[in-house]
Amino acid sequence: MSKLSRIEMLQSFAEQEPENPFNWYALALEYQNSYPENAATLFHKLLKEHKGYLPTYYHAAHFFAEYGDLDLAKTIYEEGIVLAEQEKQEKTLRELKNSYQNFLFENDLGD
């Protein structure tokens, strides 16, 4: 399946079920490398309209860090860690904390 047809398929799913955060999340991940501005828009949408969708936080934080928005990435990591703690998602919490620590170290943002 070509990249474009995959994007078109995911876009169609998102339009058919706009309340399902997974569709927007999958589309954002698909856009990351080829269409970063579209990915940014979708990550913002997810973080605003689907705050409880935990998978977004790791990928959105990493994405914004890669594109140099370190303040936003830091905030997203911190919000994701709080959400993971509230939902008692131990595996996700560990992944977010580890990634956050690496992010702080790599960007010399230690507390």
User: Distance (Å, rounded) from C-alpha 32 to C-alpha 88?
Assistant: 28
At position 77, the amino acid (one-letter code) is: Y
CB 100 within 8 A of CB 77: yes
- The structure's pTM equals 0.90
CB 76 within 8 A of CB 57: yes
Q: Where are the strands (E) in the chain, listed by range?
A: none
The dihedral sign for the CA sequence 43, 60, 22, 88? negative
Confidence check: pLDDT of 47 > 60: yes
Range name among 36-40, 89-93, 106-110 with the lowest pLDDT average: 106-110
